[in-house]
Every structure is written in C-alpha cells, then in structure tokens.
C-alpha cells in the first residue's frame, strides 16, 4: 500500500543550522520519538527499534534510516526501511529548506507499507501517519530550536 | 471530497439543485469526517466514548445542520442533511448515533413541535454545541412498545415532577437536555418534556459500556427521581407525547438510513483497496469471481438504499412544509421505515461481506471493516427493530386495522 504525505514546518534557526542537524545521524538518533536501541552506524545512517502505537495496539519495527545530503544546505533525503510485527515499511522523504533567519522546511514522504499494518487501509493509515509525522517534526523542531 | 460522497452530491445536485451554502455544508462535512477518522478508530479500540465528535462538529459549524438559520443553524433541507449524515456514516455509526439523536430526535423535535420560546431557548445553543440533546423513550420494561412506558409525572405548582428510569439512552451521560416521555401518575396519555440534566433528581445510573459495538457512542441508564420541570418545558401538547415521539423517530430513521449508506460506502472503499492489493493463488483476490460477488452485493445494495433514503428525504421535506397533514405524515413515515429497514440490514450484511473479503485480518478488531460489522448491528435494533419496521411497513400496505402490534 502506497501513501503520500507532505507538509511544511517553521523552525526558528538558520537553514545552515537546521541542515547540519537534520543530516547528522547522531542528532536524529536523539530526537526520534518512541525509539529504542538506537545505534548510529556511520556518518549517514542509523538503526533503531521504532514503536508504532495505534490506541491500545502497538507494533515494533526495526528500521534503518539513511540520510542523503543531496544539495547542502537546502535539500536532503531520508530513507527509512524496516520490518517487524508482521509488517514492513519503506519511507522515502525529501526535505527542502528555505528562508532565514527562520527556516521553512518543506517535506514530502512516500511510504510503501505491506503486511498486517496494510490491512488497516490507506485512509486510516494516512490519518495515523500524519499524526506520527507531526509528532516527529514537533520533536525535531523543538530539539533544533533548543540547540540553536 | 471523498470519491463516493462526491458522486452522491453530484447526483443529488442534478435532482434538486444544490445552492452554494448547501455545498459548503457538505464540504465542511467532508473535512470533519476526515478529521474524525483517527479519533473514532482509537476510541473504538479503547472501547470508549469519543468526545472529539461534538468538538469537531462544533468547530466546523455542523452541530445545527437542519436547524433554521434564524436560530443559528444552517437551515439544511432534509436531503442535504441526509448527505451530511451519509458522509459522516463513512466514519462509522458511533458518530451517526451522536448526531442523529442530537439533531433528528432532539433539536428537530423542538424545532417542529416546540413553542417559540422553547425554540429560542434551546436551538441557538444546540446549533453551537452548547446544548446537546438525548432522547429518552426506552425504559427497562418498555422498548418496542413505548405505550407501556412507566415514567410518571405529577403536577407540582407551576410545573411537574418526573420519576422513572430511561434505559439505553444515547448521549445520556453527556447531554445537557433530555427529551423525556412520561405518563400522568393518575391518568392516561404520554407527554414529552425537555429535562435539564443538571437538575436535582436527574442522575446517570450507569454508562452502558459492555456493548458488542458502538463503543464510541455514549449509552446510559438514567434515573429521574422527582425531577422538577417548569411548565414551559412541556413539549408539544399534553397527552400527545407519543405522536411527537413517533414524529421524531421519522426524522431519526432517515438519518440512520443515511448513516448506513456511509457505512456501505466505506465497506466498498475498504474492500476495493484490500482485494486489489492482496494476492492469493497468484493473482489479486479481486480477480477471483466469488470475491467479485461480494463487491457486487455491496455496490448494488448501496445504490438501491441510496434511492430509498433520498426518496424518504424528499417526502419528509414535503411533509415539513405541512406538519399537520396526516396523509403526508403517513407516507413519510412509511418511506422512512422502508429506508431504515433496508439500509440497516444492507449495511450489516455489507460489513459482514467486507469482513469475509478481508479474511483472517477481517476478524481482527483492528480491521476497519470489523468496526462496521460490530457497530452496524445496532441499526437493526434501535429506533425500531427490524420486526417493528416490518409490522409498520406491512400495515401501511394492509391498512390500520391490520396493525399487528395493537
Ligand atoms: C446502543 C443503543 C442505543 C439506543 N439509544 C436509544 C435512545 O437514545 N433513546 C431511546 O429511547 N432508546 C434507545 N435505544 C433503545 C432501542 O430503541 C430499543 O432497544 C429498541 O426499540 C427495542 O426495544 P427492546 O430493547 O426493549 O426490545 P424488545 O421490545 O423487548 O424486543 C425484543 C424482540 O422482540 C421483538 N418484538 C417486540 N414486539 C414485537 C411485536 N409486536 N411483534 C414482533 N416482534 C416483536 C423485537 O423486534 C425484538 O426482536 C437504544 C438501544 C441501543 C442498543
């Protein structure tokens, strides 16, 4: 099942600063919500067990995240791929930064979900994914602003 | 707009012509339904009432869709109200139960049968969401036969005192006002009252959470222990409460029928997505003919019920313009019973077939179609059971002298 999400966030920090943090696996490792056993593998990737909770039901997926510095300091990509609890997921996202001194981060993500989780259906999954993505960006924004 | 809903809006638009303000109600309904999806599903999994429903509807100015504009509502015709409920029905019957009771059984009873003073007192609040209605007809000993209800009232100075129990009351523990039906302690005839749920003597005895579905809708057992009601809160004429109760149910049944259309639409969407992506025996299961039979069943029932519901809505609009016309009322009553009877059965069977198409995952409460399967069963029970609808429809054909429930 394929999902497409997109949105934008305002971050009170310069684009250079946001870019360097967002593409630093060590920083991403610290800001991922509901993540366990986070391991930075090298300068562009990390691994983590991510808990996805839907009301009373939760699944754990072991994910590998790979960051691509496509066009510093404005464009980066992040691929998250993994499986667990009978589901598998691959998310490819693109971030574009603009503006200053505050930065607007425009992002889009394409997800391919298979297995048990796909049965929930795209309409509901999109609702949950939107909620989850907003949690992740709130967490990243707060961390970047706190560090800036 | 959601694809199937857009098709309904287009068809109805061709039929009756939809104005700008009517289209804006439907666009708001489309957005609100999307917003409610996640919380409805989460609360269903937690088996809890969903407080987001009134909040989201109020935010989109949808708490008073059929309430006249002069009272702060959006003045929707019945068919527009039906489309609004059709879209909300896609999120499940939990949402529909809240709205149907608040609007069709509560607000419209006041709008159609209340005094000018009652309309001014309750309807602006109802349209904003400050007033939430519940409808108390059923009692522990009186369900299909409301004429046997036991809640009583006595005259008390300038008002009345009500005592009794009301069972299985939707919105019961969250309502600000209950339309309560009672008989005189020393006489005949049933009378309707608008009870303030914050009044002394009113209590929520039990929140009925042990249901087999419809968890996101509040259902309660209420006790009225000598609750004082002012004379101004007697609704309609004294002794004519049952007629008012049945008129409200006429509204309600069209609403339930509309909600069931939404259930079928969501079943169809879910089945389409699942069966065209799930592969067994080397091909998508949608390519197996026996799966296509389920798809055909849901689609045909949806189309058939759509027109029954729209026809009932059109008749109701005719009757609204002439509320004292008994022949029109009988016709609207018959058509609303037919629409509710067919749509509720079709929605339940569609959900059952959708579960079948999903296979083992369909049997998990996590599957969206299992939610419809559990929730939609109630539509064959409340606001008149299947059997009562059958008796009502048959006697509308055979004549009143054949009314089997007399
Ligand atoms: C979740 C839920 C929410 C509800 N919300 C409300 C609400 O907001 N307000 C409210 O007032 N009520 C509400 N109800 C009550 C509902 O309207 C009644 O349950 C329904 O009318 C049936 O009444 P009963 O449960 O007493 O069943 P009974 O009347 O005892 O019926 C039992 C069975 O006997 C059959 N039967 C009864 N009489 C006849 C007959 N003459 N001929 C053939 N068969 C007959 C019925 O069809 C049924 O199959 C709700 C119910 C539920 C489950």
- Mean pLDDT over B55-59 rounds to 98
Say what the pLDDT of residue A10 is.
Answer: 92
**Helix and strand element counts for chain A (H, E):** 3, 7
CA atoms within 13 A on the CB side of B399: 1
Instruction: Give CATH superfamily name and number for B3-132.
Output: Acyl-CoA dehydrogenase/oxidase, N-terminal domain (1.10.540.10)
d(CA B141, CA B139): 5
Nearest protein CA to atom 27 of ligand 1, as residue:
B143
What confidence tier does A135 reach under pLDDT thresholds 50, 70, 90?
A: confident
pLDDT at A7 over 80: yes
Span from the CA of B383 to the centroid of ligand 1 (angstroms): 7
What confidence tier does A134 reach under pLDDT thresholds 50, 70, 90?
A: confident
**Residue from B383, B387, B390, B401 carrying the catalytic annotation:** B383
Nearest protein CA to atom 7 of ligand 1, as residue:
B169
d(CA A63, CA A80): 6
Give the domain A2-147 fold: Alpha-D-Glucose-1,6-Bisphosphate; Chain A, domain 4 (3.30.530)
- Mean pLDDT over B315-321 rounds to 94
Span from the CA of B216 to the centroid of ligand 1 (angstroms): 20
pLDDT at A100 over 80: no
Chain B interface test: which of A5, A52, A55 (most B C-beta within 10 Å): A55
* Interface touch B45/A54, C-beta < 8 Å: yes
- Mean pLDDT over B377-405 rounds to 96
Say what the pLDDT of residue A137 is.
Answer: 82
Say what the pLDDT of residue B70 is.
Answer: 98
Asked if B361 has any chain A CB less than 8 Å from its own CB, the reply is yes
Chain A interface test: which of B37, B41, B46, B48 (most A C-beta within 10 Å): B41
A residues 13-72 closer than 8 Å to B (CB): 54-57
Say what the pLDDT of residue B225 is.
Answer: 98
B residues 310-339 closer than 8 Å to A (CB): none
Say what the pLDDT of residue B406 is.
Answer: 72
Long-range pairs, A143-146, Cβ under 8 A, ≥24: A143/A21, A143/A27, A143/A30, A143/A31, A144/A11, A144/A13, A144/A17, A144/A18, A144/A21, A144/A22, A145/A11, A145/A12, A145/A13
DSSP-derived letter for residue B139 is B
Question: Helix B241-277 vs helix B368-376: angle between axes, to the nearest 10 degrees?
Answer: 160
- Mean pLDDT over B350-363 rounds to 97
Asked if B41 has any chain A CB less than 8 Å from its own CB, the reply is yes
Say what the pLDDT of residue A48 is.
Answer: 96
d(CA B257, CA B104): 12
Ligand 1 residue neighbourhood (C-beta within 6 Å): B 101, 135-138, 143-144, 168-170, 211, 214, 219, 378, 381-383, 385, 387-388, 391, 405
Backbone angles phi, psi at B234, to 5 degrees: -75, 130
State pLDDT tens for residues B152-201. 999 999 999 999 999 999 999 999 999 999 999 988 999 999 999 999 99
Share the mean pLDDT of chain B: 97
Among all residues of chain B, which has the CA nearest to that of A118? B274
Specify whether B139 is catalytic.
no
What confidence tier does A32 reach under pLDDT thresholds 50, 70, 90?
A: confident
Cα B76 to chain centroid, rounded? 16
Among all residues of chain B, which has the CA nearest to that of A113? B277
d(CA B151, CA B361): 46
Span from the CA of B165 to the centroid of ligand 1 (angstroms): 15
- Mean pLDDT over B61-81 rounds to 98
- Mean pLDDT over B353-381 rounds to 97
- Mean pLDDT over B224-250 rounds to 97
* Interface touch B273/A122, C-beta < 8 Å: yes
* Interface touch B45/A127, C-beta < 8 Å: no
Say what the pLDDT of residue A147 is.
Answer: 81
Q: Point out the residue among B37, B46, B361 whose CB comes nearest to the CB of A123.
A: B37
Structure tokens at A103: 């930065």
- Mean pLDDT over B135-149 rounds to 97
d(CA B209, CA B219): 7
Chain B interface test: which of A116, A121, A122 (most B C-beta within 10 Å): A121
CA atoms within 13 A on the CB side of B160: 26
Structure tokens at A86: 């009978």
Share the mean pLDDT of chain A: 91
Q: Point out the residue among B45, B269, B277 whose CB comes nearest to the CB of A56.
A: B45
Element at B12 (helix H, strand E): helix B3-16
Say what the pLDDT of residue B261 is.
Answer: 98
Residues 6 or more apart in contact with residue B343 via CB below 8 angstroms? B256, B257, B258, B260, B261, B264, B305, B308, B309, B379
Q: How many CB atoms lie within 10 A of CB A59?
A: 17
The span from the first CA to the last CA of chain A, in angstroms, equals: 38
Q: Which residue has the higher pLDDT, B355 or A134?
A: B355
Range name among A32-36, B75-79, B103-107, B352-356 with the lowest pLDDT average: A32-36
Say what the pLDDT of residue A145 is.
Answer: 87
B311, exposed or middle or buried, with CB in 10 Å at 0-12, 13-18, 19+?
A: middle
What confidence tier does B402 reach under pLDDT thresholds 50, 70, 90?
A: very high
pLDDT at B138 over 90: yes
Tell me whether strands B177-184 and B152-156 are parallel, antiparallel or unpaired.
Answer: parallel
Q: How many CB atoms lie within 10 A of CB A100?
A: 13
Instruction: Give the residue extent of every domain in chain A.
Output: 2-147
Which of B228, B268, B403, B253 shows the shortest CA–CA distance to B349? B268
* Interface touch A56/B37, C-beta < 8 Å: no
Element at A70 (helix H, strand E): strand A57-71
pLDDT exceeding 70 applies to what percent of chain B?
100
d(CA B265, CA B277): 19
* Interface touch A1/B277, C-beta < 8 Å: yes
Residue among B382, B386, B390, B405 whose CB has most ligand 1 atoms within 8 A, to mutate: B382
d(CA B47, CA B211): 9
Residue pair B100/B255 in contact (Cβ under 8 Å)? The answer is: yes
Say what the pLDDT of residue B92 is.
Answer: 98
Instruction: Give the residue extent of every domain in chain B.
Output: 3-132, 134-235, 241-402
Helices (H), B187-240: none
State pLDDT tens for residues B197-235. 999 999 999 999 999 999 999 999 999 999 999 999 999
A with B: how many residue pairs have Cβ under 8 Å apart?
46
CATH of domain B241-402: 1.20.140.10
What confidence tier does B373 reach under pLDDT thresholds 50, 70, 90?
A: very high
Say what the pLDDT of residue A131 is.
Answer: 84
CATH class of B134-235: mainly beta
Say what the pLDDT of residue A1 is.
Answer: 87
pLDDT exceeding 90 applies to what percent of chain A?
68
Which residue has 């579960």 as its token pair? B355
> Do you know the residue count of chain B?
406
Say what the pLDDT of residue A146 is.
Answer: 87
Say what the pLDDT of residue B101 is.
Answer: 98
d(CA B160, CA B162): 7
């Amino acid at each position: 099942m394929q999902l497409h999400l997109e949105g934008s966030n305002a971050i009170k920090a310069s684009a250079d600063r946001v870019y360097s943090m967002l593409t630093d696996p060590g920083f991403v490792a610290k800001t991922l919500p509901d993540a366990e056993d986070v391991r930075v593998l090298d300068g562009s990737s990390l691994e983590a067990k991510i808990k996805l909770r839907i009301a009373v039901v939760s699944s754990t997926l072991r994910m590998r995240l790979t960051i691509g510095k496509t066009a510093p300091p404005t464009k980066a990509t992040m691929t998250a791929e993994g499986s667990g609890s009978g589901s598998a997921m691959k998310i490819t996202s693109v971030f574009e930064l603009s503006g200053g001194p505050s930065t607007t981060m425009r992002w889009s993500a394409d997800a391919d979900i298979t297995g048990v989780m796909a049965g929930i259906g795209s309409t509901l999954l999109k609702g949950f994914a939107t909620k989850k993505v907003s949690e992740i960006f709130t967490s990243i924004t707060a961390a970047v602003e706190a560090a800036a | 707009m959601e694809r199937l809903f857009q098709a309904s809006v287009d068809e109805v638009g061709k039929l009756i012509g939809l104005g700008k303000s009517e289209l804006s109600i439907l666009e708001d309904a489309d957005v609100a339904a999307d917003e409610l999806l996640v919380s409805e599903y989460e609360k269903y999994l937690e088996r809890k009432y969903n407080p987001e429903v009134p909040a989201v509807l109020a935010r989109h100015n949808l708490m008073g869709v059929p309430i006249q504009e002069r009272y702060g509502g959006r003045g929707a015709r019945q068919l527009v109200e039906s489309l609004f409920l059709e879209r909300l029905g896609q999120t499940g019957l939990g949402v529909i139960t809240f709205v149907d009771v608040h609007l069709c059984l509560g607000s419209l009873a006041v709008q159609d049968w209340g005094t000018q003073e009652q309309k001014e007192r309750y309807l602006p609040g109802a349209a904003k969401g400050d007033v939430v209605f519940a409808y108390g007809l059923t009692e522990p000993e009186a369900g299909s036969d409301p004429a046997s209800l036991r809640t009583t009232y006595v005259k008390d100075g300038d008002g009345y005192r009500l005592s009794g129990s009301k069972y299985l009351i939707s919105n019961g523990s969250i309502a600000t006002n209950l339309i309560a039906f009672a008989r005189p302690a020393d006489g005949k005839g049933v009378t309707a009252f608008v009870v303030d749920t914050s009044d002394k003597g009113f209590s929520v005895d039990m929140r009925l959470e042990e249901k087999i579905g419809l968890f996101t809708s509040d259902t309660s057992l209420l006790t009225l222990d000598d609750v004082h009601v002012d004379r101004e809160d007697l609704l309609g004429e004294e002794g004519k409460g049952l007629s008012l109760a049945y008129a409200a149910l006429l509204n309600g049944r069209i609403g339930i029928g509309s909600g069931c259309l939404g259930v079928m639409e969501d079943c169809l969407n879910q089945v389409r997505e699942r069966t065209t992506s799930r592969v067994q025996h080397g091909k998508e299961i949608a390519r197996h003919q026996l799966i296509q039979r389920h798809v055909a069943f849901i689609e045909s029932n949806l189309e058939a019920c759509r027109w029954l519901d729209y026809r009932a809505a059109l008749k109701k609009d005719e009757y609204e313009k002439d509320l004292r016309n008994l022949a029109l009322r009988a016709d609207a009553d018959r058509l609303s019973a037919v629409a509710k009877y067919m749509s509720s059965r079709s929605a339940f069977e569609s959900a059952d077939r959708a579960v079948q198409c999903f296979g083992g995952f369909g049997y998990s409460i996590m599957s969206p179609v299992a939610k419809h399967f559990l929730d939609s069963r109630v539509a064959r029970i409340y606001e008149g059971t299947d059997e009562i609808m059958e008796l009502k429809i048959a006697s509308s054909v055979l004549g009143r002298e054949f009314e089997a429930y007399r």
